[in-house]
Amino acid sequence: MTKVHNFSAGPGILPQEVLKQAAEACINFDHLNLSLLEISHRSKSFEAVMSKSRQLVKDLLHLDDDFEVLFLGGGASLQFAMVPYNLLRSDGKAGYVNTGVWASKAIKEAKIIGNTAVIASSEDSKFSFIPKGYEIPEDLDYLHITSNNTIYGTQMSTFPKTAVPLVCDMSSDIFSREVNGNDFGLIYAGAQKNMGPAGSTMVAVRKSVLGKTGRKMLSMLDYQVHIKGESMYNTPPVFPIYVSMLTMEWIKNNGGVSHIEKLNNEKAALLYAEIDRNSLFKGTTAVEDRSKMNVTFVMHNPALEPAFDQLAKEANLSGLRGHRDVGGYRASLYNALPIESVKVLVEVMQHFEKKQA
């Protein structure tokens, strides 16, 4: 089978061994001679999957006993509404940092729920940097941030220090670097970047931040209901959760997050060095805020893009085009992408420069 170098921004690349295990589980799961897709989510076999998945999140994020881990449906987009619904008091206020499209969508949903303030934004600069040095009001019910911005290629290298609960959308860089989850009130992440296939969302929430809104809660949107049901208040997305479990085991068995972070740093450094060196390309974001997950860049001469696209295709480079809203190129360097793929991309960029000389 021809090797394809998968730079897709999401759903993103998964480890080959995980895909093989997942494929086998679709035929014969846990030696039951039944498919994972056709057994009860209340069976002991799947309950073990759910239990292990939740524990792996706690292990990888170093979470203390005040945290509960949930696996829910609806993607991170549902969390845009569930976060304020569960944390924003009827007479309170939420703060948001706007660093891109997904943060903007989260702000839109929060404003429907209650009083929402945008306390910092890089929108005026087309989200090319991460805001810094802003004041965080002490009366906020929570502060919401987005750690990595897939479309614009920016990433928070450090997180705000605040006494209010910090809520973070880590959909596109979860488990890509060491994070002390205890610094947050709530972390959520769609699985389809570094954790598993699309269809499940992980939520890690401090129990102490819940139950304070003063509103009567709809059951399906209530974190406390899902906590009580151990993520099985309704039928969970069993296959994405199982693949997420396998992927987290893969991380843990391959040196853990600290080793993954080292490899990710090497991949990003290699590609950014070529972008900065190559006379045909340039980066699109502030250097200090460059994402190590989603590397965005453009050509000085856009007329050369079709020729470069053809060369990339011949080298089996897939998923390099930038988001439709911004154009250019985006190379997503998720955990499972080997550095060999980045080397091929760099070689293609160097070859293309020589051709155009």
Q: Annotated active-site positions, please?
A: 102, 169, 193
- Give Cβ neighbours of residue 231 (< 8 Å, ≥ 6 apart): 50, 54, 69, 70, 71, 72
- What DSSP state is assigned to residue 284? -
Q: What is the CA radius of gyration of the chain?
A: 21
- Give Cβ neighbours of residue 130 (< 8 Å, ≥ 6 apart): 99, 122, 154, 155, 156, 157, 286, 289
Q: Is 112 exposed, middle or buried (0-12, 13-18, 19+ CB in 10 A)?
A: exposed
**CA separation, residue 69 to residues 50, 85, 334 (Å):** 10, 18, 23
In which residue are the tokens 């009083």 written? 115
Phi and psi for 61 in degrees, rounded to 5?
Answer: -100, 0
Say if CB 12 and CB 192 are below 8 A apart.
yes
Residue 220 CB neighbours (<10 A): 14
- Give Cβ neighbours of residue 152 (< 8 Å, ≥ 6 apart): 99, 100, 101, 126, 127, 128, 284, 285, 296, 326
Rounded to the nearest 5 degrees, what angle is found at the Cα of 172, between the Cα atoms of 342 and 37?
100
**CA separation, residue 135 to residues 15, 128, 162 (Å):** 41, 20, 10
- Largest distance between two CA atoms of the chain: 67
- Give Cβ neighbours of residue 278 (< 8 Å, ≥ 6 apart): 349, 350, 353
